Amino acid sequence: MQAEAHRGARSAPARVLESLVVVAVVAWILDVPRALGLNLFTEQLLLVVLGLVLALAFTGFPALRGADRPRVPPWDYAAAAVALGICAYAAARYDYLVTEVSMRPSDFIWMTTAVLLLVAEATRRVTGMMLIWYLAAGVAYALWGSLLPGPLAAQQITATRLATYLGMDTNALLGAPLHVVVTVVIPFIVLGQVIARAGGSEFFTDLAMAVMGRYRGGAAKVSVTGSALFGMISGSAVANVSAVGVVTIPLMTRAGFPPITAAAIEAVGSTGGQLVPPVMGAAAFLIAEYLQISYASVVVAAIIPALMYYASLFMQVDLSAAVHGISGTPRDRLPALRAVLRDGWHFLLPFAVIVVGLLGYGIEPEVTALLGTGVLAAACAIRPYRGRRLGFASLLDTVARAGAGVLDIVLICAAAGVLIGILNISGLAFGLTLHLVGLAGGNLLVLLAVTAAIGILLGLGLPTVGVYVLLATLVAPALVKLGVSPLAAHLFVMYFGMMSMVTPPVALAAYAAAAIARTDPSRTGWMAARIGWASYLVPFLFVYDPPLLMAAGWATIAWAVLTNLLGLWCGTIGVVGHFMAGVSGWRRGAFVLTGLALLFPAAQVRIGLALNLAGLAAAAALLWTGYRPRIERRA
């Protein structure tokens, strides 16, 4: 949120630095250094980008967050210059420095210490204090944790060893989080900026209105559909709310939804965008990096969980609209689907390029992002959308804005890398895994519940990426130790990092939506948790039922999808208390029990298949009792 507020008017030097961030990354992906005869380490690129981002943070963000700063003070320029100078020197002499790290010369120690302090201060300015408190606690634990008794005691570490390890090792600051965000995520951020600048957010909103607007509760279904579509490119719940919610929240309130409900629906819909293939959020790229699998594998595994997330939300808003008698928007007030596609079909091109590139040709995701961006830029230069043509000057400005748009995610991942380094060098990651397994008593459900709670608690002050990095290091190994597949374990922790965006007491996506709806943020957060109740079940389902992650034959997958979607529908009918008419008394409880029977994992539990079959029979009977009066009236 703080970062977004500072992306307005920028000075010419800032625009140059922002552009250099993107240019450096694109040149690396296109292998320009090798074409020029330069054999560089990836860490050299990371240091260059980190230096540029640090300089932008110190010149663009005041020391006191939210303060009005008419001009940049000299000490901030000095900090920016020091950051640029140190990172440039480290990048230029990287091969020499890594050979000297074991000797730890004094200048090397001071350099790594300075980089760590600059990263901490820049992160504080851009994202707030919460991540800094985690860093401070981690450093304290690494230095003095050896004094603790029991299994959580740390290995004894000197301050000089800690500084050199955290500042230069590829398992710390220059580790996987920073590597992934710089080499993979930034190209997708550029793609998202180009889509938004050319009018893509309006196209996706119009597309959702044309497809869903005329149905019962159509305004809410437009919100859900539009948020899912735009969420594919934004990867940020708050950004999604800001882009789509300004249209859909007023649309829902005019249709008859209370402002709190409208804001909650938009918050839950926007949050799930981080789970929607083919782009998803930055955490999905980290999953591929951690597990050393292709990003396409993560995309394929996320398809059914994303479907279940939005299907459950769709069922909730549909039945809630029926309870409140909220009909759809008249067809003559909606855009025609044919006209929307005729005017904006080119916005679908980059997604086609990404899907075909990833799944059809096995192209690296960052390359598909650049290809998709190039195709879209060419199309938008030829075909204006609503009178908006993406010319060369606009494209250059969009690139600069993309450089500004990566500040928070780069700094968060740099700080997350430092945290991972602390966990590794102190031994806490290994010790906590054993401790959690022992604490759960070998019970997987208990450990999953504890993991979900930790993810939501961490999400009170961290974005999804930060939550995922911590849980992937601390908790995911414990889940794997109890028999969960590595991919399911990492998707589980990512999912609950995502759900913290709509879970009180601090639900950032709900708060952003409440600001648009001009309603109470706290009540909106609780309403979002209530509306998205079924979403909290989805990760437990795919952990216990591997076919939901495409880990089975097609017949088994189809059975799992059928029973789970039907189970979510029956459960939602029972919770809302409405089907074709009001549902009350024993029938309401019967719908809930039927839903639970259908949700039982047939693949893992011996009686699961029997419960699924019983649930199918019960669902058929219950649904027939709802349809029969309507059929008899027609007869």
What tens digit of pLDDT does each residue of 107-160 get? Answer: 788 889 999 999 999 999 988 888 899 899 999 999 998 888 876 788 888 898
- For the cut 80, the answer to whether the pLDDT of residue 185 exceeds it is yes
CB crowding 426-442: b at 16 or more within 10 Å, else e? bbbbebbbeebbeebee
Task: Pick the more confident residue, 441 or 184.
Answer: 184
Q: pLDDT at position 379, please?
A: 92
Query: What is the C-alpha separation between 112 and 87, in angstroms, rounded?
Result: 10
Q: What is the largest CA-CA distance in the chain?
A: 90
The number of helices, as runs of H, and strands, as runs of E, in the chain is 33, 0
- For the cut 90, the answer to whether the pLDDT of residue 96 exceeds it is no
- Residue 489 CA neighbour count, 13 Å, CB half: 21
Residue 437's pLDDT band, with cuts at 50, 70 and 90, is confident
Q: pLDDT at position 634, please?
A: 63
Task: Pick the more confident residue, 339 or 442.
Answer: 339
- 237, 270, 485, 496, 499 from 463: Cα distances, Å: 10, 14, 25, 11, 10
- For the cut 80, the answer to whether the pLDDT of residue 217 exceeds it is yes
Query: What is the C-alpha separation between 217 and 253, in angstroms, rounded?
Result: 11
Q: What are phi and psi of 135, to 5 degrees?
A: -65, -45
Tens digits of per-residue pLDDT, 290-313?
Answer: 899 998 899 999 999 999 999 999
- For the cut 80, the answer to whether the pLDDT of residue 233 exceeds it is no
Residue 11's pLDDT band, with cuts at 50, 70 and 90, is confident
Percent of the chain whose pLDDT exceeds 70? 94
Dihedral sign for Cα 584, 590, 593, 597, please: negative
- 54, 90, 106, 122 from 51: Cα distances, Å: 5, 10, 21, 11
Query: What is the C-alpha separation between 437 and 75, in angstroms, rounded?
Result: 49
Rounded average pLDDT over 173-188: 90
Task: Pick the more confident residue, 283 or 544.
Answer: 544
Using omega within 30 degrees of 0 as the cis cutoff, is the peptide bond preceding 305 cis? Answer: no
Three-state SS at 634? helix
Residue linked to tokens 């951020």: 189
- 26, 233, 368 from 376: Cα distances, Å: 16, 13, 12
Rounded average pLDDT over 380-391: 83
**Amino acid, res. 93:** R
CA nearest to 542, candidates 593, 476, 503, 487:
487
Query: What is the C-alpha separation between 325 and 185, in angstroms, rounded?
Result: 43
> Is the distance from CB of 465 to CB of 412 less than 8 angstroms?
yes
> Is the distance from CB of 216 to CB of 327 less than 8 angstroms?
yes
Tokens of 199: 């009018």
- For the cut 70, the answer to whether the pLDDT of residue 425 exceeds it is yes
Helices (H), 459-520: 464-474, 476-481, 486-499, 508-517
Environment class of residue 360 by beta-carbon count within 10 Å: exposed (0-12), middle (13-18) or buried (19+)? exposed
Query: What is the C-alpha separation between 167 and 112, in angstroms, rounded?
Result: 5
Helices (H), 507-553: 508-517, 521-531, 538-544
**Amino acid, res. 75:** W
- The separation between the first and the last C-alpha atoms of the chain, rounded to the nearest angstrom, is 57
| Percent composition of the chain: helix, strand, coil (DSSP 3-state, to 5) | 75, 0, 20
Residue 605's pLDDT band, with cuts at 50, 70 and 90, is low
Q: pLDDT at position 374, please?
A: 93
Environment class of residue 633 by beta-carbon count within 10 Å: exposed (0-12), middle (13-18) or buried (19+)? exposed
- For the cut 60, the answer to whether the pLDDT of residue 9 exceeds it is no
Mean pLDDT of the chain: 86
